[in-house]
Amino acid sequence: MLTPEDEKRIPKLLDTKHFRPYAAISKLQALDESDLVTVEMYLKMLRSAAYSDIPSISKFADPSQFPNMPVSDFIRRLPYFFYVPPSDEKYPTTIANYADNFTSWGEKPDGLTIEDFYNSLDIMYYRFGISVHEIIAYESAQHHPWFRSEFFFKWAHYLDLRSSLEDSERLPIMPEQFALSYNELLESTGNAPIIYPVYEPYDCSTFYEREGDRLYFTSSVPHKDGQPVWRWLGLKMQNVSKVYWGKIPYGSERIVVEMTPSTVIYFLDPYSQEWRQLFVGP
């Protein structure tokens, strides 16, 4: 049974251009306070509330993406479950796409669950007033190395850390370079920054390419003032002549290490997350 406050709130949470709020209200009115909303109930509500079929909306059709939830939680999350992307969007994306990405993500750190995923969205939408469209557009615009859904956990953590600062307003809610700003905030609050490993080239298993006395590495380590932030790079080097960001012979930019006969390089193995010896000169 809905409260009068719920009945007033639901039309404000739904996109009334595409959905009839009172069709959703009537479905929810039939539930008791102790009832849980299932994915089947949601799909029926979606069909009855929509003015017409909406091809661009990705439906939450799997219980792993849409766990049974109390009516109060479902109402709070209506903006996610009934979000319709702009009609002119080339690749329409909804929160359902991210939920699907989350459930297909392999071993999740810290035992994260789909409920943690929705809690992260709640922080962005309700505490910071970021619209669903802005949430999706921001993730899409950031060149980050994580699973798309993993990005939300890091962003929610960034927002939590930001809130703990007395001068939090100096930090943007949506920094232009998220990976850079997140690591800087982690360090400034006494947390360990993310260390970015080097990538394994497609055509070899050495994690580097070599030409003469130069080794070339690829990494998604954040840049600042046009240069990688070296302390966040998953390489430890001894007895090298020079390390810099530059062009390799066939045009793209990489991390360049100029060796000496006694160069030794260790790398953070992206699979085991352990430091291993990678190269011993010459």
In this predicted structure, the answer to whether residue 203 has a pLDDT above a threshold of 60 is: no
Question: pLDDT tens digit string along 13-23?
Answer: 988 888 888 88
Looking at this protein, which amino acid is placed at residue 41? M
pLDDT at 106: 66
Nearest to 243 by CA among 221, 269, 276: 221
Q: What is the mean pLDDT of the chain?
A: 87
Handedness of CA 90, 95, 101, 105 (dihedral sign): positive
184 vs 94, residue with greater confidence: 184
pLDDT band at 165 (very low <50, low <70, confident <90, very high): very high
pLDDT at 110: 74
By the 8 A CB rule, do 162 and 208 touch? Answer: no
By the 8 A CB rule, do 72 and 78 touch? Answer: no
CA distance 6 to 25: 9
In this predicted structure, the answer to whether residue 1 has a pLDDT above a threshold of 70 is: no
Per-residue pLDDT, averaged over 38-50, amounts to: 88
By the 8 A CB rule, do 69 and 37 touch? Answer: yes
**Residues 149-178, buried b or exposed e (16+ Cβ, 10 A)?**
bbbbbbbbbbbebbeeeeeeeebebbbeeb
CA distances from 148 to 50, 69, 121, 225 (A): 28, 24, 13, 26
pLDDT at 250: 65
Q: How much is the pTM?
A: 0.84
In this predicted structure, the answer to whether residue 256 has a pLDDT above a threshold of 70 is: yes
Per-residue pLDDT, averaged over 151-165, amounts to: 92
In this predicted structure, the answer to whether residue 187 has a pLDDT above a threshold of 70 is: yes
CB atoms within 10 A of CB 55: 7
Quote the percentage of the chain above a pLDDT of 90: 38
Per-residue pLDDT, averaged over 256-275, amounts to: 91
pLDDT at 57: 65
CA distance 19 to 13: 11
By the 8 A CB rule, do 146 and 157 touch? Answer: no
4 vs 77, residue with greater confidence: 77
250 vs 52, residue with greater confidence: 52
Farthest-apart Cα atoms in the chain, separation = 78
Q: If you search the block for the tokens 């479902």, which residue do you land on?
A: 74
